[in-house]
Structure 1
């Protein structure tokens, strides 16, 4: 019996459901039929009442004015007669509608109330209701009825009061038996409108019963079809699945089960499998939370992208590093290649990662949304590979400051080495140059009349002097220098140097723009040494511009870092990236012979370094160069 109930559970469940649906449908449609009938009766009864009021308030008074002898014409002055006739004519257009002015003691026998209507009149007398609606059985047909009470008014007593005073026309037609002795405020009749709904309700019942029977037949058909499907399609596969699951999750509980009890076997296997999945899910969730915590809290940039190089995730540190407003903006970029400064380097990185599945400490340059470049070390690997889904994760560590520090150390070491070399050689070479210069002067005196000889001797003396200047620069470069520091405004030094170069700039048609912040704090530094730095910078920019260019010098105060920033930007030829790391090396120059010694930037670098500052350079070949001098305020007090 239990097995039969278990196999028939779908039928047992669906039968009450089908019955409930049919009952709900019947109830809803029945309410719709009654609602429609209610709307129609409301229109008809409102028409009857409007007719009665029009006769009482307009037509009857007008007729009394026309006939001064108090003549009474029922066809025009009786509210009952006019209302009945108008509703009779409306009924020709709506034959299913029945109107009646029902009274207990009517003047006209046609208006005699039946038992139902008498009951309705009594209900109005015993309550304060102004209208009633209900289903009533009328002439063997179920109808929807709407009823409104009619009260006697003072104006009604002329015809319905004392029969001795009633209009003779009415007495001659209806006599003196019914419709008299009304009192004001008394309910004397009701307006009743009936619309048959019995046939519609009967049709609805037939429709619902037919639908229920059809639904039951369809239900049995579906259950039988499903049973066949289960027996011949699902159960064979279920047997295979139960055997497979039994092999995955073996246990004592399977030994006592019959071979045909596949549902029990699969249920037991799935329960164990569900517990195993739940445990694995819990472990996976813990692992995911741990990964997400590391991902979100990491101070290094972490990116995740798919096999098409489309970015799929980025941590908060990455948003800040690349300058994205939010994650949505970051994920909107086409590919991660846009984050690399060199597109070819990006392609090499992606190809190697796809080939090796992992990369460690790949050094490259990336760019943020503002175009600022950073040097980074990238460690990346294939994180997920499921079917066609492949995800890569990469950690980008910013080594820009580290690289700058390494360059600074290398440059410092080079300067120290050159200083030591210069200190040893400058004195010996300078002695030899002094001897050459002395003998050149003696030869000039002894050959004062030989013009060609004098010219040649002047060339010798000129180059001796140039060599001595170079040696003096080397000595100055190698010796520890005493700085005469004082409080100065860096803007004043820049303006002074700008005035010195004004004529040369004008001659070369080079414009100079000074964008100097008036809010700079005074710095404690050596005025002459810093003037030498800016003269070297101006000279470099002047020599880099062939003709018609621009030099822009700007200053501002970084309140957060407490630093004064000076930028010297020119529109010259620019510096190739292959040599930009060498420009601060002593004696390194790209100028023609005789135009420079290669010590200007080295000396400037040393002066700024001795003031606790930095010199940075950015350049694009053919577009210009920008030197940035950073002087910390806290170290200049």
Structure 2
């Protein structure tokens, strides 16, 4: 079938094939790069927020708690600001009041919390249990589909590493009176030193980031397709002007010569391959004329 096609058609088909393959490869490579960049962007957001919350926890543990620890026995209500988890959660809730960050979520999901707002749900419980089963596991991450959005989460284990923390979480008898008055004696006890009791989880909306990456991909691919199309048309035009039309001209002259028109000449003054072909045809025509003259002389 290809043998029956003209050179111009064959060249166009070849260029179209190259065009399609180039667009496919470029699109796949670009998509991979943009997806990786989007992933890196949401990961960096989550890591920055985790580091910020850890700074709040550290400040509360090392500066706020020592100042207020003695008052836990005398105050009628528990001073929750002495607890790193409470401070970090409150700071983050303040942060979420900004419209831009309202869908960000921070939680120190605990299996047996003193404050029930930190109670781990089924998914969070599985994460904590996974950290408990594998003590070498330091981080988990992935995607969750929530109503109206897709979020990227990072989770890290939280363990009791300070003996002073057990004052509030070992037994109700050892806990400050203000804690019992505020939270009761049913929850948040029985913790052990170095035991993983919670998971620090930060969730960052990712759908918008990946949508932006998809829009960027569409825009760039549109530009690439337009550029490739212009290049394809330009190459096709140049091939027609520099190759196809000149070959067709030689073909027409060759047909005239083959029918006995010895006046026809292969006029081609270029020094490229087609010019060489025309010169060869002219020599062949001259040789043919000489041979015809000799043949006529012999016949006479």
Give TM-score, length-normalised by structure 2.
Answer: 0.70
Contact kept? 1:96, 1:195, Cα under 8 Å: yes
CA RMSD between the two structures: 3.2
Q: 1:193 aligns with which of 199, 202, 211?
A: 202
Q: Does 1:150 align with 2:158?
A: yes
Q: In the TM superposition, what is the alpha-carbon distance from 1:42 to its structure 2 partner?
A: 2.0
Contact kept? 2:72, 2:177, Cα under 8 Å: no
Shift in alpha-carbon separation, 1:116–1:68, aligned structure 2, 3 A: closer
Counterpart of 2:188 in structure 1 is: 179
Instruction: Give, in whole Å, the separation in 1 of the partners of 2:14 and 2:68.
Output: 80
Q: Does 1:227 align with 2:205?
A: no
Counterpart of 2:114 in structure 1 is: 107
Shift in alpha-carbon separation, 1:190–1:14, aligned structure 2, 3 A: same
Give the 3-state SS of the residue equivalent to 2:154 in structure 1.
strand
Instruction: Give, in whole Å, the separation in 1 of the partners of 2:226 and 2:111.
Output: 55
Counterpart of 2:171 in structure 1 is: 162
Structure having the higher strand fraction is 1
Q: In the TM superposition, what is the alpha-carbon distance from 1:201 to its structure 2 partner?
A: 0.6
Q: In the TM superposition, what is the alpha-carbon distance from 1:125 to its structure 2 partner?
A: 1.9
Counterpart of 1:36 in structure 2 is: 41
Structure exhibiting the larger radius of gyration computed from Cα positions: 1
Give the 3-state SS of the residue equivalent to 1:92 in structure 2.
coil
Shift in alpha-carbon separation, 1:123–1:223, aligned structure 2, 3 A: same
Q: How does 1:475-486 map to 2 (within 5 A)?
A: none
Give the 3-state SS of the residue equivalent to 2:151 in structure 1.
strand
Q: How does 1:49-198 map to 2 (within 5 A)?
A: 49-65=54-70, 67=71, 69=73, 71=75, 73-93=78-98, 94-127=101-134, 128-153=136-161, 154-198=163-207
Give the 3-state SS of the residue equivalent to 1:46 in structure 2.
helix
Counterpart of 1:245 in structure 2 is: 276
Structure having the higher helix fraction is 2
Q: In the TM superposition, what is the alpha-carbon distance from 1:217 to its structure 2 partner?
A: 5.5
Q: In the TM superposition, what is the alpha-carbon distance from 1:188 to its structure 2 partner?
A: 0.7
Shift in alpha-carbon separation, 1:219–1:58, aligned structure 2, 3 A: closer
Q: How does 1:390-539 map to 2 (within 5 A)?
A: none
Q: Whose RCO is larger (CA < 8 A, sep 6+)?
A: 2
Contact kept? 1:99, 1:193, Cα under 8 Å: yes
Counterpart of 2:257 in structure 1 is: none
Contact kept? 2:72, 2:178, Cα under 8 Å: no
Contact kept? 1:52, 1:79, Cα under 8 Å: yes
Give TM-score, length-normalised by structure 1.
Answer: 0.36
The C-alpha deviation readout for 1:303-334, integer Å capped at 9, x for no partner, is xxxxxxxxxxxxxxxxxxxxxxxxxxxxxxxx
Give the 3-state SS of the residue equivalent to 2:168 in structure 1.
helix
The C-alpha deviation readout for 1:526-558, integer Å capped at 9, x for no partner, is xxxxxxxxxxxxxxxxxxxxxxxxxxxxxxxxx
Contact kept? 1:104, 1:112, Cα under 8 Å: yes
Q: Extract unaligned runs of 5+ from structure 1.
A: 256-637
Shift in alpha-carbon separation, 1:9–1:61, aligned structure 2, 3 A: same
Give the 3-state SS of the residue equivalent to 1:160 in structure 2.
coil
Instruction: Give, in whole Å, the separation in 2 of the partners of 1:207 and 1:68.
Output: 55
The C-alpha deviation readout for 1:94-124, integer Å capped at 9, x for no partner, is 4343211112333333223234323322332
Instruction: Give, in whole Å, the separation in 2 of the partners of 1:37 and 1:147.
Output: 14
Counterpart of 1:47 in structure 2 is: 52
Instruction: Give, in whole Å, the separation in 2 of the partners of 1:140 and 1:5.
Output: 51
Further displaced range: 104-113 or 70-79: 70-79
Q: Extract unaligned runs of 5+ from structure 2.
A: 251-267, 286-300
